[in-house]
Structure 1
Amino acid sequence: MIAMLVPAQVPPPSRTAVGAAYTAAAAATAGFIPLHLICALGVPLFADPDRFAAWHADGGGIYLLTLNLLAILPAILALALVRPWGLRFPDWVPVWRGEAVPRVLLLVPGYGLAVVLAGYTVFAAVLAVVQWDDPAAIFSPWTGLWGIPHFILWAGGLTIATRSYARRTAADRE
């Protein structure tokens, strides 16, 4: 049985956790979306124009638009870890209005995404080195170097905020 969480019983997040959550949300939106949106709209920013045009026409634009839309979800997740609506569903949620948010609903994606982002950061760093002088590369390796700090902030902030949420809500599990 899932224990009901009353927001008054759950201690507030620390300033560190709140800052980490907002940093993760900013990295997911302001750090990730602008560059990817420009390319999704067909502008070959930091890319070889000819290779980019073929890649974009072959579904690259749809792929980047999808990534942009999906980047909004982890931003919401990061904020839910430190906001009251991460403990109880808000009134505008039709079926679960006012019900306690099951911890697992935030903990599994929080930790899971942090691990995936950390892995992707390592992959992006390796790819940037491997493709540094590759004439067949579509994007400049500088895009990886631009994105790596955002992914580090995103994964780190999400880890801190998720850990804070886990600790704050642990006492109410029993």
Structure 2
Amino acid sequence: MHSTAKHQISIRSIRLSHWPQWIGYAAAVWSLLYGLLGVYWTLGGEGFPFGHGHDPNPEYSALGYVRIETAAPVIAIMGLLGAVVCLMMTLTRRRHAGSLRLALSAYAWLLAILLLLVVPDYRTLGSVAYVFVLKFSIINWSILNQFLCIIGGFLWVLTAIAYQRRVHFACENCGRTEKGVAGWTEPAAAAKWGRWVTLIAVFIPMVYTITRIAWAFDIPLLVSSEFLHSMNDEFPGIWWFGAALGLIEIGGSVLTYGLIRPWGEVFPRWTLGLSGKKVPPALAIIPASIMSVLTIEAGLMIWRGFLSGAFDPGNIGTFAPSLLWPLWGLALGAATLAYYYRRRGRCMHCGQGE
């Protein structure tokens, strides 16, 4: 029985390690299904998730003013065309002509950016934080659709990466070529620059947390006393709830710090049953990658509000800490990349690496 379970785990690992071979098909299926949703909405179907009259809070979204009459057909065309593009990128086993290669890559990255950084907004990060405090009431179809688009965005990113490696005759799994790897991707180099970006990703959330904890103790840090008290009168306990969310960010900072600490690579003694075992890289890379994207999305929404004058300049504490979130997300993404370069080791497919 033990041998069978171990064999199943081994098969699963092999399948995951062959992701370049199937990721394009997964992205094609996603694009086809979302394109068909666009067709459904174009024909008058219900459930369109964007804009006034459809999204419960369109003011949060960069797509808050789109109309179903124009947006739904665009979604249908881009989704169905995307499925074709995915198949072209995946089925090729030779080098495309320069113009076609550029067009396919550009379309892939365009959709990835739209799905990861334009469609989603602050509510994705807020939903994750609220789930941690067991508050599910804010989640609706518009927010679920944003998570669906984030999944599609990651599928497109991986499809684009696999395609670019393939047409440049690099290992599809690790990106290495016969010439070796760039110096900055080597483990020793990644450890150096990774330390700095990781520390940035650790300390930026502290700014938000400090303000929320201060407000919970009735200290008007970067806001007026009138604002602090009026909000607490209208929503009793709101600042303690904000402090709880801030503490969740502290927990995230601790986990981020683990990207450059030994316990981020080997389970420490207090992890009963796991002590001394290596931390699977994916256990850190996947959630950190997702959080980096969610943080950038949220920060971009705050910047849109700031540039449009939507915030009260007399209470800068309500928005100023969040203006740092795009930098936080970028730093976390870079820290995750450095962690990957340090942990990837020898490639089981091309044999390169340490």
TM-score by length of 2: 0.41
The one-letter amino acid paired with 1:32 is: Y
Distance in 1, Cα, partners of 2:347 & 2:256: 21
Distance in 1, Cα, partners of 2:197 & 2:252: 13
2:336 aligned to which of 145, 162, 166: 162
Q: Secondary structure of the equivalent of 2:269? A: coil
1:144 aligned to which of 319, 323, 326: 319
Per the alignment, residue 208 of structure 2 pairs with 32
Which is worse superposed, 118-127 or 56-65? 56-65
Distance in 1, Cα, partners of 2:329 & 2:191: 18
The one-letter amino acid paired with 2:328 is: W
Per the alignment, residue 180 of structure 2 pairs with none
Q: CA deviation at 1:122?
A: 0.8
CA RMSD in angstroms comes to 2.7
Distance in 2, Cα, partners of 1:140 & 1:75: 26
Per the alignment, residue 64 of structure 1 pairs with 242
Q: CA deviation at 1:119?
A: 0.7
Q: Secondary structure of the equivalent of 2:260? A: coil
Per the alignment, residue 73 of structure 1 pairs with 251
Percentage of matched positions with identical amino acids: 20
Q: 1:173 to 1:91 in 2, by over 3 A?
A: farther
1:91 aligned to which of 247, 269, 272: 269
Q: CA deviation at 1:111?
A: 0.7
Deviations 1:23-81 (A, max 9, x none): 1111122x222222111222333435444324335231222111221011221222111
The one-letter amino acid paired with 2:295 is: L
Q: CA deviation at 1:107?
A: 0.8
Per the alignment, residue 327 of structure 2 pairs with 153
Q: Secondary structure of the equivalent of 2:219? A: coil
Q: CA contact under 8 A between 1:131 and 1:141: conserved in structure 2?
A: no
Q: CA deviation at 1:87?
A: 1.0
TM-score by length of 1: 0.78
Instruction: Pick 1 or 2: higher relative contact order, CA cutoff 8 A, min separation 6.
Output: 1
Matched, 1:118 2:296: yes
2:310 aligned to which of 116, 124, 131: 131
Distance in 2, Cα, partners of 1:127 & 1:63: 23
Distance in 1, Cα, partners of 2:321 & 2:254: 23
Distance in 2, Cα, partners of 1:65 & 1:83: 27
